[in-house]
A and B are shown apart, each in its own frame.
Chain A
Amino acid sequence: MASLIPAQGPTLVTDKALILNRRNLLAAGSAGALTALLAACGGGTSKQSSGAGSKNALGVTLPAGSAPASDQYYVQPFDSTGVTYKAMDFYETVYSRAPLADQFTIPLVRLTKNYGIVPAAATSWEQSSDGKSWTFHLRKGINWSDGAELTAADFVETLRYSADPKHAWDFAWFWSGVIKNYTEAVAGKVPTSEIGVRQGADKYTLVFESDAPVAFMPSACLYTTPLSAAALHKHGSGQYNIDPATSVTCGDYALKTFEPTSTVVLEPNKKYSGPIKPPIAGLVAKIYAGGDMLPRFQTGEVDTINAGPIDVKAASRNSQLKKLHLYKNPQDFKIWYVFFDVTKSPFDKLEVRQAFAHSVDRDPLVNNILAPLASPAYGYLMPGYPFAIGDELKQYTNYDPTKAKSLLAQAGYPNGQGFPAVTFDWFPNAAASSDSVVQALVENWNKVLGINIKLQQIDQTTFYDRMNKKPTEITMGMVSYGMDYFDASNMLSVYKSNGRHNWNNKQYDDLLAQGAAESDKTKRQEIYTKAQVLLTQQAPAVFIFHPLYGYYYGPYMQGAALTKNDLGYDGIQWPGFSPTSDSMDTLHVASNVSDSKRQPQTLLGS
């Protein structure tokens, strides 16, 4: 075990302030303990470089080519600039979840790497004949770490908690209109016990009820990561999961350290009794307040990094990194688009909007600025997303300057004459290179259409505040949307009436309502095709690009989780963590880790 025993954290600490830094002590201690824990439970010795066939700390048999059990942990970096970390659970807060959140629990369903839905906590589910309710049958024998069994009550209590006006959940729109009485409960008009979630025939049966049939319920149930009903009652909120002393888990992992400014560490849950069997037994999140991630990856501080176009270019100049494979996948199938205020001149004219749609030359943008991590967007839904269509939409959004000019002339602004001064609001987002993208777009439009759009940069908070106001205060702006669950009803609902934007189209709303209720897949595709055509042709927005997320993994991170899926995307697919992604059952550290620069666990929290 000699090589794996960690050095004791920061050495030769002479400065008092450093010694007394609680964070360091905790981190160093935890790092040491974690490694010891893994080693003790693993049972393998470091002399062998292979752990294949042995069991990790969770009792999972390691696949062929694995490193020993003591190496089966995964270190991920997180950039904390601009984000807040409040809790570890989706139902406590969505926007402020800490790294490694939602791993103390198991949702009803999981996703495969080809985005299919498979059982997780639920073994099977069925829709009622009138379509207005769904029944999920829970697996028996999944226990919480406090001894109680996972039952329908946990799901029911969690969802009621999310609707509680006193809890003031920041994602309350998610179940509004899906679960019966949810909106009313949030508004305080009915008690939360009346929302359409209840135990069924027995404690292993869960029933969802809605006012209208909901075809996509299983997809939406990906994020039914329950809190422990007992702990919820005891502590009054889901915050019990940020303190190792009070945290209750029924998942593979338990909370070891929660230091939201430096590190979050999850250790294996020794009391685990569920169905999910990941080879990776320990998870470490290293939280950085900015700075360049590439050097941290090169020095082995972390096992993976997210790479943007600049990182990819930088890597291509580095002799070692050049050889590394760049994994690419769409994660949450995001789209970046430019939206208009369709109630204000000149964007109240359809021809103007369509002229804009036909005058964007996406290829130079995507191939020069964003390459290799973007694809041009001709429709709202990214190809590969359920019910997305592609080629049928090109006729409405392809680059055709002649057509664009004639459309503009039809609208009454030949060659841009008389076109009012327009301000294009945008906020900086380095990941999307938004500063370069908007400048390219504006220059493009000004040249092709002969108009004068002015750019106005504002900070993100002000931008969203202005955009979300009713009536909206942004005439023209660029924004993104990434899905919340895998169904066309989710992405397309962004353009529902009285939603995020002010394009209100009854036909579109009706189509969406039909699609949500329709169970037959072919019929749904027809409905959503119509909806997408309508949305694209009416052009309340111009679709610019779909980003791809780039990842580098240490060569010792292996498994089917990383290989290409049916769409040709590789790397860990969305959502990318064990309770929700079944491919994580294959991710493991391979025996070539001993050849790599991977730093021992002790440098946690430095």
Chain B
Amino acid sequence: MTAITVDTKPITAATPGFWRTAWRRFRRNKLALVSGIVVVLILLTAILAPLIAPQGYQVQDLANSLAGPSRGHLLGTDRLGRDLLSRAIYGARTSMLVAIGAPLLGAVIGIPIGILAGWYGRAVDFVALRLFEIFTMVPQILVALLLIALFGNSVGKLILFLGISSWLGFARLARAQYISLRNRDFVLAAQAVGVPTWRILIIHLLPSAVGPLIIFLVQEIPATIFASAGFSFLGLGVQDPLADWGKMLNDGTQYLSIDLWTVMVPTVCIALATLAFSFCGDGMRDAIDPSSRQSASR
């Protein structure tokens, strides 16, 4: 322990706030920083796709079906002769939109429910738990089929559907965290002092609870891509000819015996994004919730 020193200088500036400190910690973590840059690059690719891609994503060239890399097509072509590089770039758009949008939606819905269930317990918790159970048990395929039948299809509806399917994970995690946190001393202390409940929940407890939630969010990103690929089986979601990494992967597996590029290109893209988001997420969690402070929570 360092010796306690008294700072005799007058205080002229506020001490760096919570977020500032977090940012500093993040910056120091090399891996997280690099990953963060990759994430930004991916997002930029998604946003600037029409400017970067050599061709449109739907330009067909049937004579060049399933061709390997060449001058005109740096990563080869798919079954319809479309440039895989362009489709990968445009795919970033759709995939990122869905893969980030759906988990965020899930988080926005699920975390408050989880917090309330975990904090208040008793009746609220009981109802929430039963809701969790029912939601888990209803087969997603039927819901998807019904939704397509009733409302048709679009990327927006896909996000909605996937988001609603994923709120469960967030809610359960948040609930678990808050159940263990609510009995802590510092919580009791804050209540004794008269801090309003909402402040306790959000400002005091959230930073401690957020660690596993961030990891979960980040892990949901590739899971969402695969889920959207799976549902494209049924026709829910990204429609042809729109490019989407998950769909490209799904479609490409038909051709595995004759062409690897149709599968490898989206796989590498997904893996890259997964890695980047994972390390970035780890870094964020370390920054917000440095391991020296937190002990394991429920």
Contact with A along B53-90 (1 / 0, CB 8 A): 00000101011011000000000000111000000000
B81, B149, B239: the one contacting A454 at CB < 8 Å is B239
Is A439 a contact partner of B235 (Cβ separation < 8 A)? no
Stretch at the interface among B7-15, B253-261, B284-292: B253-261
Interface residue A52 (Cβ < 8 Å from any Cβ of B)? no
Q: Provide the residues of chain A in CB contact with B235, threshold 8 Å.
A: 427-428, 456-459
A219 to chain B, nearest CB (A): 37
| A295-346 at interface with B (beta carbon < 8 Å) | 310-311, 313-314, 317
Q: Provide the residues of chain A in CB contact with B239, threshold 8 Å.
A: 454-457
A439 to chain B, nearest CB (A): 5
Is B254 a contact partner of A369 (Cβ separation < 8 A)? no
| A432-480 at interface with B (beta carbon < 8 Å) | 433, 435-436, 438-440, 442-443, 454-459, 462
Q: CA A440 – CA B59 in complex, angstroms?
A: 10
A314, A433, A443: the one contacting B241 at CB < 8 Å is A443
Is B80 a contact partner of A440 (Cβ separation < 8 A)? yes
Is A294 a contact partner of B257 (Cβ separation < 8 A)? yes
Q: Provide the residues of chain B in CB contact with A443, threshold 8 Å.
A: 58, 60, 80, 241
Interface residue B109 (Cβ < 8 Å from any Cβ of A)? no
Is A364 a contact partner of B62 (Cβ separation < 8 A)? yes
Question: Knowing A439-B240, A454-B239, A456-B235 touch, does A364 contact B63 (C-beta < 8 A)?
Answer: yes
A107 to chain B, nearest CB (A): 38
Q: Provide the residues of chain B in CB contact with A365, threshold 8 Å.
A: 62
Q: Which partner residue on chain B sits nearest A438 by CB separation?
A: B240
Interface residue A430 (Cβ < 8 Å from any Cβ of B)? yes
Is A455 a contact partner of B80 (Cβ separation < 8 A)? no
Q: Provide the residues of chain A in CB contact with B60, threshold 8 Å.
A: 439-440, 443
Is A310 a contact partner of B241 (Cβ separation < 8 A)? no
Q: Provide the residues of chain A in CB contact with B65, threshold 8 Å.
A: 368-369
Interface residue A595 (Cβ < 8 Å from any Cβ of B)? no
Interface residue B48 (Cβ < 8 Å from any Cβ of A)? no
Q: Provide the residues of chain A in CB contact with B255, threshold 8 Å.
A: 310
Q: Interface size on B (CB < 8 Å)? A: 26
Q: Which partner residue on chain B sits nearest A368 by CB separation?
A: B62
Interface residue B50 (Cβ < 8 Å from any Cβ of A)? no
Q: Provide the residues of chain A in CB contact with B145, threshold 8 Å.
A: 459, 462
Q: Which partner residue on chain B sits nearest A295 by CB separation?
A: B257
Interface residue A292 (Cβ < 8 Å from any Cβ of B)? yes
Q: CA A311 – CA B255 in complex, angstroms?
A: 9
A454 to chain B, nearest CB (A): 7
Is B257 a contact partner of A368 (Cβ separation < 8 A)? no
Q: CA A310 – CA B62 in complex, angstroms?
A: 15
Q: Provide the residues of chain B in CB contact with A364, threshold 8 Å.
A: 62-63
Is B80 a contact partner of A292 (Cβ separation < 8 A)? no
A494 to chain B, nearest CB (A): 25
Is B62 a contact partner of A314 (Cβ separation < 8 A)? no
Interface residue B165 (Cβ < 8 Å from any Cβ of A)? no
Q: Which partner residue on chain B sits nearest A425 by CB separation?
A: B235
Q: CA A428 – CA B63 in complex, angstroms?
A: 23
Q: Provide the residues of chain B in CB contact with A438, threshold 8 Å.
A: 240
Interface residue B153 (Cβ < 8 Å from any Cβ of A)? yes
B219 to chain A, nearest CB (A): 28
Contact with B along A141-185 (1 / 0, CB 8 A): 000000000000000000000000000000000000000000000
Q: Which partner residue on chain A sits nearest B148 by CB separation?
A: A458
Is A436 a contact partner of B258 (Cβ separation < 8 A)? no
Contact with A along B129-152 (1 / 0, CB 8 A): 000000000000000010011001
Q: CA A314 – CA B254 in complex, angstroms?
A: 11
Interface residue B125 (Cβ < 8 Å from any Cβ of A)? no
Q: CA A442 – CA B242 in complex, angstroms?
A: 13
Q: CA A310 – CA B259 in complex, angstroms?
A: 10
| A43-96 at interface with B (beta carbon < 8 Å) | none
Interface residue B52 (Cβ < 8 Å from any Cβ of A)? no
Q: CA A364 – CA B61 in complex, angstroms?
A: 9
Q: Provide the residues of chain B in CB contact with A459, threshold 8 Å.
A: 145, 234-235
Q: CA A454 – CA B60 in complex, angstroms?
A: 16
Q: Provide the residues of chain A in CB contact with B63, threshold 8 Å.
A: 364, 368
Is A317 a contact partner of B152 (Cβ separation < 8 A)? no
Q: Provide the residues of chain B in CB contact with A368, threshold 8 Å.
A: 62-63, 65, 81
Q: Provide the residues of chain A in CB contact with B241, threshold 8 Å.
A: 439, 442-443, 455
Is A369 a contact partner of B80 (Cβ separation < 8 A)? yes
B20 to chain A, nearest CB (A): 49
B145 to chain A, nearest CB (A): 7
Q: Provide the residues of chain A in CB contact with B80, threshold 8 Å.
A: 369, 436, 439-440, 443
Q: Which partner residue on chain A sits nearest B149 by CB separation?
A: A462
Q: CA A294 – CA B149 in complex, angstroms?
A: 36
Q: Provide the residues of chain A in CB contact with B58, threshold 8 Å.
A: 443
Q: Provide the residues of chain B in CB contact with A462, threshold 8 Å.
A: 145, 148-149
Q: CA A368 – CA B255 in complex, angstroms?
A: 14
Contact with B along A418-431 (1 / 0, CB 8 A): 00000000011010
Q: Provide the residues of chain A in CB contact with B234, threshold 8 Å.
A: 457-459
Q: List 9 A-B contacts (CB under 8 A).
A: A311-B257, A368-B81, A369-B65, A435-B240, A440-B62, A455-B239, A456-B152, A457-B153, A462-B148
Additional A-B contacts beyond A427-B235, A440-B62, A454-B239 (16; CB < 8 A): A311-B257, A313-B257, A314-B257, A317-B258, A365-B62, A368-B65, A369-B80, A439-B241, A442-B240, A443-B60, A455-B240, A456-B153, A456-B235, A457-B153, A458-B148, A458-B234
| A contacts, CB < 8 Å to B | 292, 294, 310-311, 313-314, 317, 364-365, 368-369, 427-428, 430, 433, 435-436, 438-440, 442-443, 454-459, 462
Which 5 A-B pairs rank lowest in CB-CB distance, beginning with the nearest?
A: A457-B235, A314-B257, A364-B62, A368-B62, A313-B258
